[in-house]
Amino acid sequence: MKKQTAEIDKAKEHARYERSAKTLLTRINSENINRKKFGAEAIPIWLREPYTFYERMLGYYTNSNSNVLELGSGTGMHTGCVLKQVCKVTATDISKSSLEVLEYQFKDFENLKTLVCDMENLPFSENSFDLVFCSGSLSYGEPKTVMKEIKRVLKKNGKFICVDSLNHNWIYRFNRWKHFIRGHRTISTLRRMPSQTTLDMYRDEFSEIEINYFGAIAWLTPLLRLVFGGYRASKIVSKFDNLINVKRSAFKFVMVAKK
């Protein structure tokens, strides 16, 4: 029953992203729109730190000789930070229209290839990539299946790097349920949100793993912004994370796993 629900939900998510991307394509074709900001720069400063750290890790572990795979690329929010490393990048997603938007926005990069595929069944040989990365996409596939596929396509000593939300944060869970009730999320993505159990699964499967946690007091950010402004609010949240070594209550995490 859960498997059938997951397949139905996957079709719903695919249709939702297709609709959104097709709207963007229409605007691009009629107005010649170019996104001015990508990645961490496009995220409000008070929520930016985990994404800045994520992109820093991507830059550290890639070079011009790297063969890199992105899962759940969408319209390319974080694709550019790896493309600029001049490495070979394969961006994948289940939404063809999303990848068309991505191709348009990075049309000047010759080191980019896109492919429509499902992260639960990657059409690549074993030991194909030096690095696999994704942002906020882990809940769109069955966790163990996705992990096995990532490990399979990674070369020996290859890295998997991701940034995502941690399901233990009660505010994030409330927000997800709110989106579910409004029809913007499916029940499968709620069930599959990364948890400490998910992270422990990666820890058991990979030879080395490093996890950094962010945003234990993210729920206070609106108040902190009013009092101190966005930049200082982000610094206060970061300092608090460092002081208490937050884990279960974290809003976001960045994981670097070595095969």
Domains and CATH numbers, the chain: 2-258 (3.40.50.150)
DSSP code per residue over the chain: -HHHHHHHHHHHHHHHHHHHHHHHHHHHHHH----S--GGGGS-GGG-HHHHHHHHHHHHT--TT-EEEEES-TTTTTTHHHHTTT-EEEEEES-HHHHHHHHHHTTT-TTEEEEE--TTS--S-TT-EEEEEEES-GGGS-HHHHHHHHHHHEEEEEEEEEEEE-TT-HHHHHHHHHHHHTTSS-HHHHHTS--HHHHHHHHHHSSEEEEEEE-TTGGGHHHHHHHH-HHHHHHHHHHHHHHHT--TT-SEEEEEEE-
* pLDDT tens string 15-31: 888 898 888 888 776 66
Condensed to tens digits (0 to 9), the pLDDT of residues 32-47 reads 656 667 888 888 776 7
Convert the pLDDT of each residue in 228-254 to its tens digit.
566 665 665 566 555 555 666 778 899
